[in-house]
A and B are shown apart, each in its own frame.
Chain A
Amino acid sequence: MTISTPQTMYEKLWQSHLVEEAQGETPLLYVDRHLIHEVTSPQAFANLRFHNRPVRHPERTIATMDHNISTRSIKIDAAGEGAANQLRALAINCKDFGIELFDMGHKNQGIAHVIGPELGLTLPGTIIVCGDSHTATHGAFGALAFGIGTSEVEHVFATQTLRQNKAKTMMIEVKGHVGAGISAKDIILAIIGKTGSAGATGYVVEYCGEAIEALSMEERMTVCNMSIEFGAKAGLIAPDQTTFDYVEGKEYAPKGDVFEQAVVDWTNLKSDIDATFDAVLTLEAKDIKAQVTWGTNPGQVISVDGIVPSPEDFSDPVEKESCINALKYMGLTAGTKMTDIQVNKVFIGSCTNSRIEDLRAAAGVVQKYEGQQVVDTIDAIIVPGSYRVKEQAESEGLDKIFINAGFEWRLPGCSMCLGMNDDVLAEGDRCASTSNRNFEGRQGRGSRTHLVSPEMAAAAAITGHFVDLNA
């Protein structure tokens, strides 16, 4: 009998993907699935061509058009010539290198981090990479998933591996149960508010505790999606029956006996009871309230029943300075009630919050306002994460609920999360956004972003300001 050292889930994923750890070299890990899109792949393909190298496993690679596509038209040039060039380049590259592509209007098209899970491309126990920092989303399945740069995209294309230094591990336990009306977005924003925007740099985070176990897969994806927003390399949630039930039967997921064997393997992925983490953070779920960001990084966040903080509230000189700069950029005065902040734009979408449950939650809030309309001065858009989400929402009549209330019902894509297409905010616009980043200029030069849940965004569209829905 051998006595093995207790391992965290991250260590198990690491060990099961370690191809080689040669003396003097960074460890080499196997990559199971590579998601690509039009923005971060063209230069990688160009280098492959230059060196006359093939894509080693085109069948482990899936391409989608998502970052700079129009949400008004499926025409490839509908979001401008620059975008069209990249989209055409992706189509040519995929054809030349034998990669399956979900192009404009394809039934499987959508945001990479929405389609991976819904198609069963995302599996527990795998390593998934993509040239996009929100790849952390797939960690909701117990997959080690992280964003990579274009040089690494090229490395994965050519070798199906990556060199990675081992990260430290952090356990974030959310004890007990959240109150009614508290969403997964509130949980992750509350976590980031506690750690600060770089609190997990150098770590892979594992989320656990009753409040996490109680989440659906879509909610878990929202949590893991924002791991990068406090610097984490990746976020993980142990796969359980909720996970297996979600994966089973999905188009690309294993079937029959292979699936049964997979579930046995996946069940063993969870961190061993005595495993030790380099850092531990504990939150009480009952203390988590609905969250809104007030500043220019996701760590600058507060409960909706709170007030805009003052620089004097921060003892750390860097945080104090950041607060001064953020208030100036955001055009906010310390002491203002969060519920008094008026918005003129609402965006419901992005890889954080564009799945069917997000749209149901937003539609539910719209219905609670019984026939009230989006405020005249507000442009509110709903951008489903994928064509499958869009189709499902329409089959449930959610599109009608939104359209009748004065929202625009758009085509899938990354849209206003980063505004690479024409869904851009103007200078001074203030947006209630379900996306993941409130950086200066993120949604448009001089624009002001407040990150919120889909419920809060829907309520802001109808009332014109942030609302404490649980008051």
Chain B
Amino acid sequence: MEKFNTHTGLVVPLDIANVDTDQIIPKQFLQKTERVGFGVHLFHDSRYLDHAGTQENPDFVINKPEYKGASILLAGENFGCGSSREHAPWALQEYGFKVILASSFADIFYGNCINVGLLPIKLSETEIEQLFKLSPDAQLTLTVDLPNNTVTCGELSFKFSLNEFQQYSLENGVDSVGWTLDKLDTIKAFEAKMPAWQ
């Protein structure tokens, strides 16, 4: 996993609540056995007018010229609800997103983002609302500073928090499997005490 330190990028506002993982990456694109090739299908049903995905929907915010190259997604509440498909953060990441800002995320999606190095940031509803109000003027640029847990936008500055280990893992690009495998003796000791039925 790549290390995450600070990131400055263009914000695209997707002001819709309860965006589910079926909307982020529809099921017909889940048949790959690799981790790549999902970005082009991100938000497929909203982003394209046709099934084949050849005609962009000009009304969908991400397709608007002023938001091309955006790397920060400003999202509505309960973003990422629904399935456990990690393909959703893979698709967001491959499209070019590094950070997602929302007032709330679905639990599994949030964990999946952390595990792939896509930074989900929870801000208060008021703070998210402030950003949505600024963003229609386009070209809203934010700086996210992970070590200092701040989101800065001009004179606005917001604090956010992450679980201690998740913060460490993102900053250091920790191989979480390798980290746990170093504790194999502890796991074996636990297994030795388990009841027979377990």
Contact of B177 among A85, A159, A265, A441 (CB under 8 A): A159
Contact of A46 among B34, B165, B191 (CB under 8 A): B34
Q: From A158, which residue of chain B is reached at the shortest CB distance?
A: B177
Bound Cα distance from A26 to B164, whole angstroms: 8
Contact of A441 among B23, B31, B178, B195 (CB under 8 A): B23
| Shortest CB distance B107–A (Å) | 5
Which one of A96-104, A255-263, A404-412 is at the B interface? A255-263
Contact of A86 among B33, B115, B198 (CB under 8 A): B33
Contacts A82-B31, A419-B27: A30 and B108 contacting too (C-beta < 8 A)?
A: no
Q: From A47, which residue of chain B is reached at the shortest CB distance?
A: B177
What are the interface flags for A432-465 relative to B under an 8 Å C-beta threshold, 1 for contact and 0 otherwise? Answer: 0000010111100110000000000000000000
Bound Cα distance from A201 to B196, whole angstroms: 34
Tell me if A307 is interfacial: C-beta within 8 Å of chain B. no
Bound Cα distance from A159 to B116, whole angstroms: 18
| Shortest CB distance A82–B (Å) | 3
Residues in B with CB closer than 8 Å to A254 are 196-197
Q: Are A85 and B31 in contact (CB under 8 A)?
A: yes
Bound Cα distance from A159 to B77, whole angstroms: 34
Which one of B5-13, B57-65, B83-91, B137-145 is at the A interface? B83-91
Q: Are A19 and B190 in contact (CB under 8 A)?
A: yes
Which one of B66-74, B92-100, B152-160, B180-188 is at the A interface? B180-188
Tell me if A110 is interfacial: C-beta within 8 Å of chain B. no
Bound Cα distance from A419 to B183, whole angstroms: 41
Tell me if B150 is interfacial: C-beta within 8 Å of chain A. no
Bound Cα distance from A26 to B115, whole angstroms: 13
| Shortest CB distance B52–A (Å) | 11
Bound Cα distance from A179 to B163, whole angstroms: 45
Number of inter-chain CB pairs below 8 Å: 187
Residues in A with CB closer than 8 Å to B107 are 167, 201-202, 231, 233
Bound Cα distance from A185 to B194, whole angstroms: 36
| Shortest CB distance B16–A (Å) | 8
Residues in B with CB closer than 8 Å to A47 are 177
Tell me if B133 is interfacial: C-beta within 8 Å of chain A. no
9 closest cross-chain pairs (CB), A and B? A82-B31, A147-B84, A262-B197, A149-B112, A149-B86, A151-B115, A42-B33, A198-B78, A150-B86
Interface pairs (25), CB distance under 8 Å:
A19-B187, A25-B165, A26-B165, A26-B166, A28-B187, A30-B190, A30-B194, A32-B198, A40-B85, A42-B33, A43-B33, A133-B82, A135-B84, A158-B180, A159-B177, A160-B187, A161-B180, A167-B107, A231-B107, A297-B81, A321-B17, A325-B16, A437-B20, A437-B82, A440-B45
| Shortest CB distance B132–A (Å) | 12
| Shortest CB distance A220–B (Å) | 21
Q: From A233, which residue of chain B is reached at the shortest CB distance?
A: B107
| Shortest CB distance B14–A (Å) | 13
Q: Are A149 and B115 in contact (CB under 8 A)?
A: yes
What are the interface flags for A26-46 relative to B under an 8 Å C-beta threshold, 1 for contact and 0 otherwise? Answer: 101010100000011011001
Q: Are B181 and A159 in contact (CB under 8 A)?
A: yes
Bound Cα distance from A228 to B34, whole angstroms: 27
Q: Are A441 and B78 in contact (CB under 8 A)?
A: no
Contacts A26-B165, A322-B17, A445-B26: A158 and B116 contacting too (C-beta < 8 A)?
A: no
Residues in B with CB closer than 8 Å to A30 are 187, 190-191, 194
Q: Are B78 and A439 in contact (CB under 8 A)?
A: no
Among B9-53, those with CB < 8 Å from A are: 16-18, 20, 22-23, 26-28, 30-35, 45, 51
Q: Are A26 and B180 in contact (CB under 8 A)?
A: no
Residues in B with CB closer than 8 Å to A446 are 45
Q: Are A46 and B33 in contact (CB under 8 A)?
A: yes
Tell me if A131 is interfacial: C-beta within 8 Å of chain B. yes
Residues of A within 8 A of B (CB): 19-20, 24-26, 28, 30, 32, 39-40, 42-43, 46-47, 51, 53, 68, 80, 82-83, 85-86, 89, 123, 125-126, 131-133, 135, 146-152, 154-155, 158-161, 163, 165, 167, 197-198, 201-202, 228, 231, 233, 254, 258-259, 261-262, 265, 297, 318, 321-322, 325, 418-420, 437, 439-442, 445-446
Contacts A132-B83, A322-B17: A126 and B77 contacting too (C-beta < 8 A)?
A: no
Residues in B with CB closer than 8 Å to A24 are 164-165, 168
| Shortest CB distance A314–B (Å) | 12
Bound Cα distance from A440 to B17, whole angstroms: 13
Bound Cα distance from A102 to B82, whole angstroms: 26
| Shortest CB distance B170–A (Å) | 12
Residues in B with CB closer than 8 Å to A123 are 197-198
| Shortest CB distance A382–B (Å) | 21
Residues in B with CB closer than 8 Å to A43 are 33-35, 86
| Shortest CB distance B190–A (Å) | 5
Bound Cα distance from A68 to B28, whole angstroms: 10
| Shortest CB distance B115–A (Å) | 4
Q: Are A201 and B78 in contact (CB under 8 A)?
A: yes
Contact of B198 among A20, A125, A131, A445 (CB under 8 A): A125
Q: Are B163 and A262 in contact (CB under 8 A)?
A: no
Bound Cα distance from A25 to B177, whole angstroms: 13
Tell me if B173 is interfacial: C-beta within 8 Å of chain A. no
Bound Cα distance from A161 to B116, whole angstroms: 18
Beyond known contacts A158-B177, A228-B82: 6 more, CB 8 A cutoff = A53-B181, A80-B31, A154-B177, A158-B181, A198-B81, A258-B197
Among B96-133, those with CB < 8 Å from A are: 104, 106-108, 111-112, 115-116
Q: Are A261 and B195 in contact (CB under 8 A)?
A: yes
Q: Are B78 and A322 in contact (CB under 8 A)?
A: no
Q: From A125, which residue of chain B is reached at the shortest CB distance?
A: B198
Residues in A with CB closer than 8 Å to B183 are 19-20, 28
